Chains A and B, each alone.
Chain A
Amino acid sequence: MPTVEYKGKTFEVDEDGFLQGGLDAWCMEWVEYVKEQEGIQELTEEHWKVIKVLQDYFKKNGVAPMVRILSKVTGYPLKKIYELFPSGPGKGACKMAGLPKPTGCV
């Protein structure tokens, strides 16, 4: 498994750059690191709202929420989520939030 070093921290990631240790390994440095990878200029409160919702939902349910649930809870339409996370809710937001990689027929 490849590792990345960023600001003194070491992260185990898979080929797609998803965090292997899950939420236990998640920290501010990880967010900063993914920010650079995912084409995000500045992290705003809106970004954090999406991240919080994803993490809370995952802690409670053990899976990432469906797109429309994410939209409903945050109040952000899908278009807005792509403005915040250009790679979208899966590859962008879930990765930054430290959730496991989306699977299935993608």
Chain B
Amino acid sequence: MAEIKKHDTPMVDELKGGPWPSFVDDIYSYAEKHQKQACFDLMGQLELSYKHKETHWKHGGIVGVFGYGGGVIGRYSDQQEQFPAIWAFHTIRVNQPASKWYHTSALRKLCEIWDHRGSGMLNTHGSTGDLVLLGTVTEQLEPIFFDLTHQMNMDLGGSGSNLRTPSCCVGKARCEWSCLDTQALCYDLTMTYQDELHRPAFPYKFKFKISGCPNDCVAAIARADLSIIGTWIDDIRIDQEAVRAYVGGELKPNAGAHSDRDWGPFDIKKEVIDLCPTQCMHWDEKEKKLYINNKECNRCMHCINVMPEALRPGTDTGATILMGAKAPILEGAQLSTVIVPFMRLEPPYDNLKELIEKTWDFWMENGKNRERLGELIQRIGLNRFIVDILGLKPIPQHVREPRANPYVFWKEEEVEGGWDRDVAEFRKRHPA
């Protein structure tokens, strides 16, 4: 093995101090143990970037594996003579298991492959969800892909103008609020749309995210073009005995989440009733009983979050389907907007898939180059998207408030007499 070259990194080394786990410590201790030049060179280039206050990666990079159009993010150093081990430093996205449950045997095996063929550095996980292998050279891409698929039974994640790797919250695996099996749905959608994930065919990227309840632990409403958020349509289940235990102080509000500060004894009126956004709750002090007018409840989760042992979501469950979230570029940031207020979701999820495929058909045909779904909806209008494209009925739940301006489009067939008018006819009644 060639001699290892270590660089002086005084600024980077500063980040070894302090209580938080230090990525610098981690990378150096791994690099020393495995004698990885790529790690030392990466730290060297990072030091240079700290000094210059600019990146030292070149623009773009197009690499990949045969058969796929995405999954690998190509990267090259612009200081290749000084840092030859990161001349090429490609990132591989590996599709993670739903909610990121692992067995150590799988992670050990993956690490063995990565120790051997890559830099040894990982990102667990990328914000979209993938397990990210950080830094390898072009020649290793096909061998790594071979090992992943043949030894690990794992596949690449998505990148490019395609369906990106779907992700979900922990769901029913260990949360009493989950209104749907987020993991099963995430896995099903991932497997159903493998082609769309591996071979870019869209105008731009498209993301699915699935949360089991409106707490939205995977931030579906903010980070997915198609956000699936669990909810229910029957009544909140109340255990009055447990409510009294909260009021009496035997149970800690919010499962003790605020225990680090003295907020005084639990006050159900102040902390639950008065904070309910629709004011649909009532605590009867004499009866010692909690009432909820479920018809007015918007299922915001607050009361359930405060008294998890007393209140539970209903049993008639499904999800709200929202669409269009995106980051600011180009037309400004968007959160997803409600498209279907309530959809029951059971395998094989045909109702959801029909909606997805209708959306894709239209967006693929009408989306401009690099136009996210949210921008397409803005461009053509929510009404046209919901009614003409998806064939759904417009309902009040589709808007937060009605429009304030009077620039209302009508379809010609909705207006008696249509658009073809003769000005001469008009002049007969109104001479100029």
Contact residues of A with B, CB < 8 Å? 15-16, 18, 39, 63, 66-68, 78-79, 82, 86-91, 95, 101-106
CA distance A82 to B205 in the complex (A): 19
CA distance A78 to B202 in the complex (A): 11
- How many chain B residues touch A (CB < 8 A): the figure is 30
What DSSP secondary structure best describes chain B's contact surface? loop
Q: Of residues A39, A67, A68, A86, which shows the largest number of chain B Cβ atoms within 10 Å of its Cβ?
A: A67
CB distance from B359 to the nearest CB of A (A): 15
Q: List 6 A-B contacts (CB under 8 A).
A: A15-B61, A16-B61, A63-B369, A82-B69, A88-B64, A101-B60
CB distance from A54 to the nearest CB of B (A): 15
A15:B88 contact, CB within 8 angstroms: yes
B160 within 8 A of A: yes
B201 within 8 A of A: yes
CB-CB contacts below 8 Å: B379-403 with A: none
CA distance A68 to B196 in the complex (A): 13
Contact residues of B with A, CB < 8 Å? 58-64, 66-70, 73-74, 76, 88, 159-161, 195, 199-203, 205, 364-365, 369-370
CB distance from B235 to the nearest CB of A (A): 45
CA distance A15 to B137 in the complex (A): 11
CA distance A68 to B362 in the complex (A): 12
CB distance from B201 to the nearest CB of A (A): 5
Among A39, A67, A88, A103, point to the contact of B60 (Cβ < 8 A).
A103
Measured between beta carbons, the chain A residues less than 8 angstroms from B67 are 82, 86
A106:B203 contact, CB within 8 angstroms: no
CA distance A1 to B61 in the complex (A): 14
CA distance A15 to B87 in the complex (A): 10
Measured between beta carbons, the chain A residues less than 8 angstroms from B195 are 79
Among B62, B202, B365, B369, point to the contact of A90 (Cβ < 8 A).
B62
CB distance from B367 to the nearest CB of A (A): 9
